[in-house]
Amino acid sequence: MRLIFLGPPGAGKGTQAARLAGICQIPHISTGDILRTHVSQQTDLGQKAKAYMDSGELVPDQLILDMVVHRLEESDAQDGWILDGFPRNVSQADFVENVVLNAESNSEEMSQKDLRVINLDVPDEILVQRLLARGRQDDHEETIRRRLQVYREQTAPLIDYYHERQQLHSVDGNRSMDEVTEALKTVVSV
Ligand code: AMP
């Protein structure tokens, strides 16, 4: 099973992706988490990415794509994965379609059709409340506003992108965590 979690910051992608990964026994791959590890370990990538993350901008594709390829090559990712926070713009989505899925579809069990994309839908005012309550380092009001703007400009177009490919499943994320998880289990048929 291969899943992509779309949705604005604060929609609950991380929480729900982790739950579903446990249920489906596949890795939860969060590009934000990987980047935060690089920042805290002060790797070369972490040092390059930090300023973008602190200001709510996307980290440049050239830094992200290598990092994702590297992670997907690990042994636990060979039978499926949940991507959380990637792709984040159309060129990253093209990369998934042209590079990641083509490489993997050599194996018979996995074909392009297996990809499901989940859009967690949550109204803006709820997102801001949730993000302010979360208190992560990049959860300041100004950065939050910029992250939501970046989401609308660069990531939201992926809703149409995957809708056109008939891979999109929208789930109402403005419910209790358990209700959202139940809805997601229906989408992935477990
Ligand atoms: P997240 O934890 O998914 O909210 O990501 C935190 C920050 O990491 C974002 O605001 C971006 O600066 C950066 N980031 C995470 N994933 C990506 C991605 N796929 N492309 C570019 N930047 C990313």
Pocket perturbation via mutation, ligand 1, pick of 28, 35, 63, 96 by most ligand atoms within 8 A of CB: 35
89-103 mean pLDDT: 91
Q: Which residues are catalytic?
A: 13, 88, 134, 136, 147
Rounded to whole angstroms, how far apart are CA atoms 90 and 155? 7
> pTM to 2 decimals?
0.93
Chain segment 63-79, per-residue pLDDT in tens: 999 999 999 999 999 99
- Smallest CA separation from ligand 1 atom 6, residue: 32
Task: Out of 28-37, 79-88, 106-115, pick the least confident.
Answer: 106-115
Taking the centre of ligand 1 as the mean of its atom positions, its distance from the CA of residue 109, in whole angstroms, is 30
Taking the centre of ligand 1 as the mean of its atom positions, its distance from the CA of residue 169, in whole angstroms, is 22
Query: 133 to each of 39, 56, 74, how far by Cα in Å?
Result: 23, 17, 34
Looking at the CA of residue 31, tell me the nearest atom of ligand 1: 16
Contacts by 147-151 with C-beta closer than 8 Å and gap 24+? 147/9, 147/56, 148/8, 148/9, 148/124, 149/56, 150/56, 150/57, 150/58, 151/8, 151/9
Q: Which residue has the tokens 């042994």?
A: 75
Rounded to whole angstroms, how far apart are CA atoms 23 and 151? 28
11-35 mean pLDDT: 97
